Structure 1
Amino acid sequence: MVGLCTGIALLEAGHHVSIVDDDAEGKAASWGNAGHIAVEQVEPLASMSMVRSLPQRLFLRGGPLGFPPSAIAEWMPFGLRLLTAARPAQFRKGCQALAPLLAGSMPAWTSLVERIGAPELVKQDGHFVLWHGERAAREGRASWMASNTGSAQVQDATDAERAMLSALGRAPVADAIRFTGSGQIADLGDLRQALGNAFAQRGGKRVTQRAELRAAGGRVEIAGIDTEQVLVCAGVRSRELMEHLGHKVPMIAERGYHIRADASHWPADLPPVVFEERSMIVTRYRNAVQAASFVELGKVDAPADPRKWERLERHVAELGLPLRRPFRRWMGCRPTLPDYLPAIGRSTKASNLLYAFGHQHLGLTLAPITARLVASMVAGEQPELPLAPFDIQRFA
C-alpha cells in the first residue's frame, strides 16, 4: 500500500519509478486489513494503560494478544523496548508525532482516489463501537471519551442505530458510540487494482522479484535495477533489508487474522463495527464481510495458528452474526516498531537511501500522507510535517 501510493506520487512529480516486489498475489498485510481509515488512533498502543491491561488481554485468557513460546526471542526484546516507549513522557511524544499525520490522512486519501479516478473507493461514514455487557459499556465508553481521537468525533449512537446494531445478532446492545471523521475502503481488492492501474498509466514499472540491496561507495544499489534513489517500503520485510545495510530495526511481525464470508446477509450500507469485548472489527466490503482480530507477536514465516480462526468463528457464532460458512481464512504480518510509530526518513548509512515502513495498524490509513512526505524528501524539499520523530536512528 505505501509503495504503490508513493510510486504514484513520485510519478506525478515527474520521476521515473520502478517497484520491485515479489508479492504478485497480494498476500501482504496491506491487502488483508480491516479496511478502516483509523484517524481516531492518535494514541500509540505503546502506553501504560495497554501494559496494565496485558494480563486480561492474553489469548490464553480469551483475549486477542498472543505470545507464541517459539517466538520468545522476538517478542521478549521487543516487549522490553515497548515498556520504555510506554513511559508517560514518551507516550506523549508519540501522540504529538501521530496527531498531524492522522489529521492529514483522510484529505490525502480523498485527494488520491480523486486523482486516480476512483473516488467511490473511500467511504467517509465513520464507524461504530459497541458493547453487550453493561460494565464493559461503562468502562469502554469512559475510556473513549477520555481519549485523544484527533480529527474524529465521538457521539452517542441514536436509538435507531442501536436497534439496527442489536438486530445484527441475538443479544441486545447495551451501548454503542459512533465515530465521525473516520472512514473505510469500499473494497481492498478493487483498491489494489485501481492503484496498480494508476501506477502503470503514469509510466511506472513493476519488477516481480525479491529485492536485493548492496552498498557501494556510500550508496545503495538494487541488484539488476538501474536506479538513482532507493526507497525501502517493504512492510515487515523491511527489517532484513535495512539491517543488511547497517541500520538497527527492532521491528516485529505483529500477526493479525481474519475470516471472510459472503456479503449477502450483512447490511450493505453499514460502516465498520467494532465489537470491543471481543476485540473484533467487522467490515462490509462490496462482495464480502470480514471479521478481523488478534495481535500475535511472532515470526514472519511461522505457520498460522488455526486456533485464532477458530476463535473468530466462535465469536461470530456466539454473537449470532449473519456471517455464513464457508469462511475464507487469512493471516498477515503488520510491521510494528516498539513505540508504534512508523519509520520515515533518509538513511544515514547511504546517501541515496530512503525508507517508509513500520506503520503497524495504520499502514492503510497513513499510506497516501506518507507518500507525500517521501515525495518531498526525494525532491529535496522540506516535508509538510516534521520527520524527526520517525527517524530510524531513534533505535540506534
Structure 2
Amino acid sequence: MPKPENHTSASDRRSAIVVGGGVIGTTTALALQRTGWTVTLVEAEDTPRAASWGNAGHIATEQAEPIASPAMVRGFAKRLFCRGGALALPPREIATWLPFSLRLLKAARPARYERSHQALAALLAQAMPAWQRHVAALGEPDLLRPDGHVVLWETPESAARGLANWQAADTGTTRFRSLTEAELHDWRARVRAPIAGGIRFEGSGQIADPTRLAETTTTRLLADGGTRLIARVAAVGDGEVHLTDHRPLSADQIIVTAGVASAALLRPFGLKVPIIAERGYHLQTGPDVDWPADLPPVVFEDRSMIVTRFAGGLRAASIVEFARAEAKPDPAKWNRLRHHIAALGLPIGEDAKPWMGARPTLPDYLPAIGKVPGTRGVSYAFGHNHLGLTLAPITGELVAAMVAGESTPVPTSPFELQRFR
C-alpha cells in the first residue's frame, strides 16, 4: 500500500535535536521522525560504546519492581562483590557512591517505593508492544525475539528460595513456570555446574543482535531525512545546542538523552540530577560458538550472571559497580566473570573480548522523562539503569507525544526530575 502523501513543506516541519546516541537517543529520534519532526541526532562517538550496546540484550519486562526496594536493602550485604556477589563499591570511589547510596536508602522506604513500583509497572506494561511497533517500523521484525528467558539455580536451597522470591514478586505482564525434568536434563547436559531447579518466563524477550540494531536505527534515521552529527555538546539552551567545536545548532525542541552526561547539561537549568554510573562488565566470544542460536537468555541467579546468544557470539554479563563513569575498569570484575564461566563450563574462552559500560542510574531506579520547567523547548529522557533497552521504544513514544503537547500513553509526572527537589 503506498504511503499517504505528506503535504507539509520542509520549511513548515518542526525540528528537534536529540543529544545522545545510545538506544534511548536513537529510538527517540526515530519516534520523533515518524511523527513528522526533522531530527538531528548528536552523538559523541562514531562507534557506539554506551551501555545500550553492551548489555545482555534482554527485554526485561518481568522487572516491574524497582531495584531500590526494602528487599534490596535487607539483602544488601550478601550482594557485595567482596562476599562473592555482583555489587561492587570500590573504596577509592566512596565519594561517588556514598551520597548516592544514602539517597537510594531514602527511595527504598516503603511508601516511596510503592509509588515508584506503580509507576515502573505501568511503564513496563507498555514495553513489549512498543518494541513490536518499533521493529515493525524498522522493517526488521526478526530483531526482536519475544521468546522469554530462563532462570537457573545450582542448589536445592537456592532453588527453593529463588522460586519463592519470584512467586512473591510482581512480574508485570510476564508469567513463568517451573522447568520440566526434560528441560532440566538439557541444561544439566549443557553446563558443568549442578542444576537443581529453574523456571521459564514467557512475555520477556531479547534483541537478536545489538550491533545490527544500532546500525539499522542509524540507517533508517538517515534514509528518512534525519541528520547524525559526531560531536561533543558543551551546553544546551532554549532552542539551541552549543558544541565544543563552536558549530551552532538550533531547533524547536532539544531532547537530552545523554545518559550520565545529562546531569551536567541540565545543571544550568537548576535541576537536581543525582545520577551515578552503574558500571557493568561482560565477556563475549565470536560468532562461531557451541551454543544453540535459538536458546533464550539464561540467568544463573546464584552467580548474578546472564548469558545471551547473539548473532555475533555468546555474551556473559554481570556486575553492578558504583563509580565515576571515567574511572578505569577493574580487571577483577572480568576475572570474576571468567571464574563463573569456567565453573559452568560455558564455551567462552580466554580470547573473549572484555567490555565495560556505565548504566545511567538514579537513586529510585526510575528513569528521568519530562520537560525542563521555564524553557520553551528543552526535554529529557535518560537514567533508565538496567532497563534502557527494555524501555527505549516506549520512552521514544512518550517523548514524541510529550513535545507535541499530546496525551502520553503513560503519565510522565512520576518520572520528572522535580521529584528530587
Verify same fold: TM over 0.5.
yes
2:94 maps to amino acid? I
Equivalence for 1:334: 359
Pick one of 138, 155, 160 that aligns with 1:116: 138
Structure 2: how far apart are the matches of 1:272 and 1:127? 5
The answer to whether the Cα contact below 8 Å between 2:155 and 2:194 also exists between their aligned partners in 1 is: no
1:276 maps to amino acid? E
Q: Does 1:50 align with 2:68?
A: no
The answer to whether the Cα contact below 8 Å between 2:257 and 2:381 also exists between their aligned partners in 1 is: yes
1:197-236 alignment runs, 5 A limit: 197-215=219-237, 219-223=238-242, 224-236=248-260
Please give the TM-score of this superposition, normalised by the length of structure 2: 0.92
2:173 maps to amino acid? S
In structure 1, the residue corresponding to 2:338 is in which secondary structure? helix
1:254 maps to amino acid? E
Equivalence for 1:315: 340
Shift, 1:323, TM fit = 2.1
Structure 2: how far apart are the matches of 1:171 and 1:308? 21
Equivalence for 2:329: 304
Pick one of 300, 303, 315 that aligns with 1:290: 315
Shift, 1:23, TM fit = 2.2
Structure 2: how far apart are the matches of 1:92 and 1:24? 40
Structure 2: how far apart are the matches of 1:379 and 1:34? 33
Structure 2: how far apart are the matches of 1:276 and 1:257? 16
Equivalence for 2:267: 243
In structure 1, the residue corresponding to 2:365 is in which secondary structure? coil
1:180 maps to amino acid? E
The answer to whether the Cα contact below 8 Å between 1:246 and 1:349 also exists between their aligned partners in 2 is: no
User: Which ranges of 4 or more aligned residues in structure 1 deviate by more than 3 Å?
Assistant: none
Structure 1: how far apart are the matches of 2:194 and 2:102? 41
Distance 1:146 1:201, change over 3 A: same
Shift, 1:245, TM fit = 3.0
Equivalence for 2:277: 253
Structure 2: how far apart are the matches of 1:320 and 1:20? 42
Structure 2: how far apart are the matches of 1:156 and 1:90? 33
Shift, 1:180, TM fit = 0.2
Shift, 1:349, TM fit = 4.2
The answer to whether the Cα contact below 8 Å between 1:262 and 1:323 also exists between their aligned partners in 2 is: no
Q: Does 1:280 align with 2:305?
A: yes
Pick one of 86, 89, 94 that aligns with 1:67: 89
Shift, 1:265, TM fit = 0.9
2:36 maps to amino acid? G
Q: Which moved more, 1:162-171 or 1:144-153?
A: 162-171
In structure 2, the residue corresponding to 1:137 is in which secondary structure? helix
Shift, 1:25, TM fit = 1.1
Equivalence for 1:133: 155
Structure 2: how far apart are the matches of 1:113 and 1:56? 39
Equivalence for 1:90: 112
Pick one of 379, 385, 396 that aligns with 1:360: 385
Structure 1: how far apart are the matches of 2:89 and 2:350? 29
Structure 2: how far apart are the matches of 1:139 and 1:214? 49
Structure 1: how far apart are the matches of 2:26 and 2:77? 38
Structure 2: how far apart are the matches of 1:17 and 1:287? 30
Identical pairs, percent: 51
Equivalence for 1:166: 188
Equivalence for 1:103: 125
Long gaps (5+) in structure 2:
1-22, 243-247
In structure 1, the residue corresponding to 2:232 is in which secondary structure? coil
Structure 2: how far apart are the matches of 1:229 and 1:270? 42
Shift, 1:220, TM fit = 4.8
Structure 2: how far apart are the matches of 1:379 and 1:327? 45
Shift, 1:179, TM fit = 0.4
Structure 2: how far apart are the matches of 1:351 and 1:395? 22
> Per-residue displacement from partner, 1:268-287 (whole Å, max 9, x unpaired)?
11100000000000000012
Shift, 1:160, TM fit = 2.0
> Per-residue displacement from partner, 1:57-80 (whole Å, max 9, x unpaired)?
111111100111121111111111
> Per-residue displacement from partner, 1:242-286 (whole Å, max 9, x unpaired)?
113321100000000000013421121110000000000000001
Structure 1: how far apart are the matches of 2:150 and 2:236? 47
Structure 2: how far apart are the matches of 1:85 and 1:130? 30
In structure 2, the residue corresponding to 1:212 is in which secondary structure? strand
> Per-residue displacement from partner, 1:152-200 (whole Å, max 9, x unpaired)?
0011112222112112212331000000000000010011011111111
Structure 1: how far apart are the matches of 2:279 and 2:374? 30
In structure 2, the residue corresponding to 1:167 is in which secondary structure? helix
Structure 1: how far apart are the matches of 2:328 and 2:268? 25
2:111 maps to amino acid? A
Structure 1: how far apart are the matches of 2:26 and 2:405? 21
The count of aligned residue pairs is 393
1:306 maps to amino acid? P
In structure 1, the residue corresponding to 2:56 is in which secondary structure? coil
In structure 1, the residue corresponding to 2:277 is in which secondary structure? strand
Q: Does 1:9 align with 2:31?
A: yes
Shift, 1:34, TM fit = 0.5
Equivalence for 1:346: 371
